[in-house]
Amino acid sequence: MPNAEEIIATGKTRPEHYRGWDYLRLAEDCKDLPRGTLIADRRIIYGYPHIGRLLALQPGLREQFTQPFWVEEKVDGYNVRIARLNGLTLAFTRGGYVCPYTTDRLPDLLDLSVFDHEPELVICAEVAGPDNPYLESSPAFVTRDVQLFVFDCLRLDRPDFLPPPQTYALAERHRLPTVQHYGRHAPEDNAALLALLRRLDTEQREGVVFKEEAPQPRRAKYVTGSANLQDIEATATDLLDLPPEYFTGRILRLALFLKELGLEQGETIQRRLGSAFLDGLLRAMRQYESEQRCYTTFRCRLRSRDNALALLTHLDQVTGHKVQIVQRDLREENDGYWMLEFDRSYPALNGLLSHLRHGGLIFD
Amino acid sequence: MPNAEEIIATGKTRPEHYRGWDYLRLAEDCKDLPRGTLIADRRIIYGYPHIGRLLALQPGLREQFTQPFWVEEKVDGYNVRIARLNGLTLAFTRGGYVCPYTTDRLPDLLDLSVFDHEPELVICAEVAGPDNPYLESSPAFVTRDVQLFVFDCLRLDRPDFLPPPQTYALAERHRLPTVQHYGRHAPEDNAALLALLRRLDTEQREGVVFKEEAPQPRRAKYVTGSANLQDIEATATDLLDLPPEYFTGRILRLALFLKELGLEQGETIQRRLGSAFLDGLLRAMRQYESEQRCYTTFRCRLRSRDNALALLTHLDQVTGHKVQIVQRDLREENDGYWMLEFDRSYPALNGLLSHLRHGGLIFD
């Protein structure tokens, strides 16, 4: 893997700063180097790599894995890497930005004394819950605020993950919250894995990640039909703003999941797919009718007012110039936390509904 | 409008031929000139123009129309223009190709003596039915083979349509089959138009076209929720081969239709949208499992074997190099007609299912 000078020489790094603290962020994938790789204080935190997706479990596991693998839950949240650099413990997003929200909430999410014992550690985790500032969906088992679930460990300056058993042991030693672990399985364990996935689907959980324990470990992910339905439900109002492949891909994956698990029959699933699209769109149209705009209100709690403002700036930066992020409220609560509420608009849907309200034609 | 020399000077015309007969076809829209405009024997047949779509009926009609308009049924078929050139009566597709199939079947579809009386006439019509070679959907009211429905008249060398009453009179005079006519309405006739659209939706019909009778007539189309569902049902196996906006656009239009007609509630529609996607995809997956490929078999009858072969060549030309058109059967029936059967493959879906069967990963 390239060193800091070589990463900078790619010309793809961008200078960023967070509250007076400067770093470089790799803005796009560059050969083997994932987007989000970052350099700070001359240390490298490698980006979290893309994990390939299985869409047909049985041939996929046999083809991809030649030895047993560890199975872990995949949680529906956002990916962060957490490290201590020059005394500061920071959380970075998948894209390599400091996340002002997660960084602010770190003391609530895990015991940071782990970094006193493991100063070179980079914790990879999913943050999920109804009060997160990024995603409209969250797992049912996080009922309020957010929680953090560790699933991998890196080291500063190293792109390779700790083997799963070492990650599990480290997490236990330092009482870190982790994703659910489903043990070690062989590629032939079809019946057990299908039973696990059927249970996760019933419980509306997202899916699993398979991780080999090998010098060059192979990995793959597989998501449930429910996860695809929940994604569509959560983002139907984004129908015109997300790439349309986002939706067609999830419909296809749902069909493949139903086929794989022998769940093809059933009016319930058909009705749920239809309502996943229609309920959100009709709700957005009613909202537009009464307020002349479509938006979703997000809310999240932070320890510091400055981080709340830094989060709004960060959201403006990463959502693109068309999406409007509008602060609705920022108030200190009795417990000393700041409650931030903001609206996120759907520019393409708002644009279309405005055009239609004025009687416009569409040429397609 | 430009004359023949000016059209050729655009550089966008392509030489084409059909059974020894040569013509020029405008391969893309060029300023006001629609794609499919063609020049043959120094006469111009103007392309059929794009008609704007209303997605919100009530503000749309009031904004687009300042005077009454004629309302006609929009039929779910393919668009042809029919003209007699140098003694030969030919049908041209929307793209400006001679359609070997429709040209072959013209004597069955309308009384061609109309061109003895009206030699400058260009008939614009929809051809629809279960045995058409292009579309997997067809209106329920055409139960076998295909039928033709006239909806506009042009003249050679002229881009302007006859006003609707003149088209209706001409069709009656020459006993031409037409689309259903729903009379003359004012933009304020909301209740009557909504009742009409609700009926068409219940009868699984595609929708309507609104046509002003004016020197520069305005036009607009509006389709039913059923039409969107039928399109998705008919093309779910094309999920990866059609542009994904094809699907997301129809979901959005369905939601707008339900809102407009006050049909938001209802499990039936949700189930139908879900099954529109899932039934076709699951059928394709089962087909792939048993035959290792996904395809649809089309069948159509022609008068001449040469036209059947010309149709296969034409389909190869217009469907792109990835879609496979494979002749399955071509046999003479007792009635002297030739029955052509061919398979149309879904290259992207076949490619994905093959990749998955071999255990491949997807990176998305």
pLDDT tens-digit profile of A22-80? 999 999 999 889 999 999 988 999 999 999 999 999 999 999 999 999 999 999 999 99
What is d(CA A140, CA A143) in angstroms, rounded to the nearest whole number?
Answer: 6
CB contact (8 A) between residue A247 and residue B252:
no
Token pair listed for B99: 């359609």
Give the sign of the dihedral formed by CA B260, CA B263, CA B267, CA B268: negative
By CB neighbour count within 10 A (0-12 exposed, 13-18 middle, 19+ buried), where does B144 fall? exposed
The kind and range of the H/E element at B228 are helix B225-235
Question: Which B residues 155-194 touch A at CB under 8 Å?
Answer: none
* B289: closest chain A residue by CA: A259
Chain B environment of A241 (Cβ under 8 Å): none
Condensed to tens digits (0 to 9), the pLDDT of residues A124-180 reads 999 999 999 999 999 999 999 999 999 999 999 999 999 999 999 999 999 999 999
C-alpha–C-alpha distance, residues A353 and A293, integer Å? 8
Interface ipTM above 0.90: yes
**DSSP bridge partners of A69:** A185, A212
Measured between alpha carbons, how far is A42 from B273 in angstroms, rounded to an integer? 54
| A277 interface with B at CB cutoff 8 Å | yes
Q: Are B7 and B26 in contact, with CB atoms under 8 Å apart?
A: yes
B291 touching A, CB under 8 A? no
d(CA B225, CA B198): 9
The pLDDT assigned to B71 comes to 98
Q: What is the mean pLDDT of residues A5-19?
A: 93
pLDDT of residue B265: 78
Residue A23's DSSP bridge partners are A16
Q: Who wins on pLDDT, B264 or A311? A: A311
- CATH architecture classification, A292-357: 2-Layer Sandwich (3.30)
Distance CA A302, CA A99 (A): 12
Interface of B with A in 207-246 (CB under 8 A): 220, 239-240, 243-245
- Burial bucket for residue B139 (CB in 10 Å: 0-12, 13-18, 19+): buried
E strands in B137-180: 147-155
Contact A158, A46 (CB under 8 A): yes
pLDDT of residue B267: 82
**DSSP SS3 for B282:** helix
Q: Is A31 on the interface with B (CB under 8 A)?
A: no
The reported pLDDT for the residue numbered A2 is: 83
**Residue A293: partners with Cβ closer than 8 Å, 6 or more residues away:** A287, A345, A350
**Hey, is the C-beta of B351 within 8 angstroms of any chain A C-beta?**
no
- Looking at the predicted structure, is the pLDDT value of residue A347 above 90? yes
Question: Does the beta-carbon distance from B270 to A247 stay under 8 Å?
Answer: no
Residue A125 to residues A12, A92, A150, A236, B179, Cα–Cα distance (Å): 25, 10, 4, 27, 61
A246: nearest CA partner in chain B:
B244
- Chain B closest-CA separation from residue A205 CA (Å): 20
- Show Cβ contacts of residue A353 under 8 Å, excluding neighbours closer than 6 positions: A285, A288, A294
DSSP state of A167: H
C-alpha span between B195 and A114 (Å, rounded): 69
Q: How are beta strands A338-345 and B13-18 bridged, if at all?
A: unpaired
Dihedral Cα B349, B353, B354, B358, nearest 10 deg: 160
Strands B13-18 and B21-26, bridge-based pairing? antiparallel
Cα–Cα distance measured from residue A127 to residue A105, given in angstroms and rounded to the nearest whole number? 11
Angle in degrees, CA A344, A347, A348, rounded to 5? 140
CA distance A42 to B356: 42
Torsion of the alpha carbons at A130, A133, A134 and A138, rounded to the nearest 10: -10
Beta bridge partners of A109: none
Q: Helix, strand, coil % (nearest 5) of chain B? A: 35, 30, 35
Q: Are B139 and B77 a contacting pair, CB within 8 Å?
A: yes
CA-CA-CA-CA dihedral for A102, A107, A111, A115, to nearest 10: 70
CA distance B154 to B156: 7
> Is the Cβ pair B278, A272 closer than 8 Å?
no
Asked if B34 has any chain A CB less than 8 Å from its own CB, the reply is no
**Domain B291-357 belongs to what architecture?**
2-Layer Sandwich (3.30)
Q: Where in chain B is the domain with CATH 3.30.70.2160?
A: 224-287, 291-357
Residue B76: its pLDDT value, please?
A: 97
Using the beta-carbon criterion (under 8 Å), do B244 and A239 form an inter-chain contact? no
* CA pair distance A222, A69, nearest whole angstrom: 14
Per-residue confidence band for A197, with pLDDT thresholds at 50, 70 and 90: very high
Take residue A261 and report the two structure tokens written for it. Answer: 């698990």
Would you call A351 an interface residue with chain B, using a CB distance cutoff of 8 Å?
A: no
DSSP string, B287-355: HHHHHSS-EEEEEEEES-HHHHHHHHHHHHHHSTTTS-EEEEEEEE-TTSPEEEEEEEE-HHHHHHHHH
Q: Flag whether residue B274 sits within 8 Å of chain A, measured between CB atoms.
A: yes
Interface probe, candidates B66, B69, B277, chain A, greatest A C-beta count within 10 A: B277
3-class secondary structure, B211: strand
Nearest Cα to B146, choosing from B347, B309, B298, B353?
B298
Contact residues on chain A for B241, CB-CB shorter than 8 A: none
- What are the C-alpha distances in Å from B135 to residues B76, B230, B243? 9, 12, 16
Q: Report the predicted TM-score, pTM, of the whole model to 2 decimal places.
A: 0.95
Q: Which CATH architecture has domain B224-287?
A: 2-Layer Sandwich (3.30)
Alpha-carbon distance of A95 to A301, in angstroms, equals 22
Q: Concatenated DSSP letters for A282-351?
A: HHHHHHHHHHSS-EEEEEEEES-HHHHHHHHHHHHHHSTTTS-EEEEEEEE-TTSPEEEEEEEE-HHHHH
* Residues in chain B with pLDDT values less than 70: none
- Confidence (pLDDT) at A137: 93
The type of residue at B295 is Y
List CB contacts of A215: < 8 A, sequence separation 6 or more: none
Cβ-contact A210, A63 below 8 angstroms = no
SS3 of residue A89 by DSSP: strand
pLDDT digits (tens, 9 = 90+) for A234-284: 999 999 999 999 999 999 999 999 999 999 877 899 999 999 999 999 999
* pLDDT given at position A323: 84
DSSP labels for A63-83? HH-SS-EEEEEEPSSEEEEEE
- The residue in chain A having the minimum alpha-carbon distance to the alpha carbon of residue B267 is A271
Three-class DSSP category at A352: helix
